[in-house]
């Protein structure tokens, strides 16, 4: 599963064709994105935040608007998505990285929005421990849930 998920996200441009980055970038009105910003307000003040699985940086874009003085960073396995985000959010540090293999640098807040669902169950405990150590103030996980 992990190899297939990594391949899927790294090669997303082949799967969805031209314009997929633009579609992600403009998807700012999805309710979960605004809910994330509201959740982050409960952790404020904080000085730094890293989003794992940031894609093109749509969440980071909204977070930048809500928290203009915060140092932001994003990790994603897709180099095209990272390049797209870097072009539009020049004050945010983007890194091509697989969070399952590289724990993010320490930050006040670590955010995962639908990224951990691509982590194999046997690696989840280790990944979560690494994220918790990296998160100095809070760890925000917005992940899909299966019905009981």
Residues of the chain with pLDDT under 70: 1-18, 145-148
Backbone phi, psi, residue 131, to 5°: -65, -40
Q: Does the pTM exceed 0.75? A: yes
H/E/C letters for each residue in 37-75?
HHHHHCCCCCCEEEEECCCCCHHHHHHHHHCCCCEEEEE
66-106 pLDDT, tens per residue? 999 999 999 999 999 999 999 999 999 999 998 888 788 99
Residue with token string 């989003």: 51
């Amino acid at each position: 599963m992990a190899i297939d998920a990594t391949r899927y996200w790294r090669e997303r441009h082949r799967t969805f064709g031209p314009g997929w980055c633009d579609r992600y970038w403009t998807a700012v009105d999805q309710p979960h994105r605004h809910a994330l910003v509201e959740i982050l307000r409960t952790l404020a003040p904080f000085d730094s935040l890293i989003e794992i699985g940031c894609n093109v940086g749509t969440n980071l874009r909204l977070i930048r608007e809500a928290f203009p003085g915060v140092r932001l960073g994003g990790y994603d396995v897709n180099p095209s998505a990272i390049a797209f985000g870097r072009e539009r959010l020049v004050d945010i540090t983007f890194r091509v990285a697989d969070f399952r293999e590289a724990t993010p640098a320490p930050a006040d807040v670590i955010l995962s929005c639908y990224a951990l669902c691509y982590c194999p169950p046997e690696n989840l405990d280790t990944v979560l421990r690494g994220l918790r150590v990296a998160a100095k103030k809070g760890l925000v996980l917005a992940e899909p849930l299966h019905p009981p």
